[in-house]
Amino acid sequence: MKKYNTVAAVASAVLLFFLAPTGAQAQEEPEEDKFVPLSELKPLEKTEGYRNPHSYQYGLTASNTLINIKKNWVKEKADYIQDSRKGLFIGNYRPFFRYIWNEQHVFNIRGRFEYRYNPSLPDSPTLRNKEVVSTGNYSVEILSAELDFDRHKATVGRSFYRMGRGLLFANFADGAEYAGNFRYFQVKAQALYSGDYSGCTISIAGCRTNTDFETKAKGTFDIVPGRPVDAAVPDPGRRFFLGAEIQSASLYGSNIYLMALYSRDMSRDAGTANPNLGKIFAFDPVYLGVGLQGYIVSPRLRYLTEGILQQGKTYKKNTTSDANNNEQIPINAWAVTADLNYSLPYLERLLKPGLVAQYAYATGRDAKTPAPNNPSQESTSNVDNNFYSFGVYSAGLALQPRLANLHIIRLGAQLRPLHRYYWGRNFMVAIKYTIYRKGNADYGFSDADAKENKSEVGSGWDIQSVWDFRSDLKFFYAYGYFTPGAAYREQDAKSIHSHIISLNLLF
């Protein structure tokens, strides 16, 4: 184990380049636009000529995605709930309107209609987890004002908010964000609320078109612009967030940033029905984070590393229906991610090659079946070590694990083989190889089938291609493959194949 920990520490890894189908851009930034010190940043000077006082943009984005997942069992087994070879179709259609006042302040409204068709569900209703084959969901996804006062910017309303690299928080919420650009540092402060309102039409979760669809609105895949498609995003529930982030000016090509986030759970009543009768599920975490990013010697070699300490309070597992047996216990968990990206000078004119390495680890709950997706009512000890955040981390399309009690090491490369041609300038291919190992071999992680007290979880491959044919038409394809390791019993070991193909249009 010491040998592995040394290897994991040395693999300080790397620029997250998983390309989500609705947010990926293959076009490279101009070299002169990178790594400008904050002290040299200045607001754009306002032109003295005519400025359009009123302008607007509108349209519709249509993302049509087909997902196919196949799990090959080493021993034949009647577990056809896992069989998604008939495909899962997800259509996301987002009409938007943007009003720009005086070429400075922007007012946004964007709706979302999602249609899901899943013929792979089992025939028995008791095995469907309350899902139906065909259903839809609609919501007001964004309703915000972006007020720009040169060095000071404010976003008010419903929008997509993010902290750091996105592991800590990356989700939709109602609230406000302030961003200030000063000479030696940048600051960002957030006050947010995420939850359901009395009317479903104004709820962040939205409304379902099928009233019999009782399961949670968030599906297995939640396709959102700016988030990796393989990431599992936790449902925040009804809670408040208070966050702050400060970033230093660049010094020798690097800068440091600090983060703090507190969240208060507003669902604090004991359950009134089985199996949660008498149980309180409130979860009140506090996060402190630090990040370092920039380049080493040359802008060709870039790095990003981030560490997060999680404290706060949660509830210990209550094995009775007596509300008086709910005991609050402290949280003591942490996570670290590290990315390294190198743009190769060789064959640059022909392929524009790049190498990438990633490492991530987070502590997990001390249990054989830790249920890391549940932040409360799971720990049987007096301290909960499960790392649980409200953001995302791309860790492989096939396994899709949560970052808890898991070491993740990824190595890969990316190419733009057609960049010399105008029609292929935005075509990119990326490939990654991933090694998964448990932090503590005696405990489990997010895949409950890994029941052996062994560290070797397995390995996987990810291949992705993105092609922006033009500004209003984008193609995305991803393939993921997972091979199980010694942490799985023979009857539970399975190889997983995952395919995602998506075509995105802007009208």
* Model pLDDT, residue 86: 75
User: What does the pLDDT average to over 427-433?
Assistant: 95
The strand ranges marked E within 344-374 are: 354-362
Q: Is residue 37 part of a domain?
A: no
More confident of the two residues 476 and 212:
476
Q: How many domains, in total, are found in the chain? A: 1
pLDDT digits (tens, 9 = 90+) for 369-410: 898 889 999 998 999 999 999 998 989 999 999 999 999 999
Cis amide prior to 119 (ω within 30 degrees):
no
Residues 453, 498, 232, CA angle at the centre, nearest 5°? 65
pLDDT of the residue at 482: 95
CATH number of domain containing 103: 2.40.160.100
- Residues 442-478 have pLDDT tens digits of 999 999 889 999 999 999 999 999 998 888 899 999 9
> What number is the average pLDDT over the span 254-261?
96
pLDDT band for position 212 (cuts 50, 70, 90): low
Instruction: With respect to residue 33, please indicate whether it lies within any of the assigned structural domains.
Output: no
Report the pLDDT value the prediction gives residue 490, as an integer from 0 to 100.
85
Q: What is the pLDDT of residue 80?
A: 40
Domain that holds residue 427: 2-27+58-506
Residue 35 lies in a domain: no
Predicted confidence band of residue 419 (pLDDT cuts 50, 70, 90): confident
Q: Which amino acid is at 8?
A: A
Does 398 map to a domain? yes
> Does residue 208 sit within a domain?
yes
Q: Is residue 167 part of a domain?
A: yes
Burial (CB count <10 Å: 0-12, 13-18, 19+), residue 47:
exposed
In a domain, 96, yes or no: yes
For residue 42, being part of any structural domain is answered with no
Range 141-166 average pLDDT: 94
Q: Is the pLDDT of residue 196 over 90?
A: no
Beta-bridge partner residues of 242: 191, 262
User: For residue 7, what pLDDT is reported?
Assistant: 37
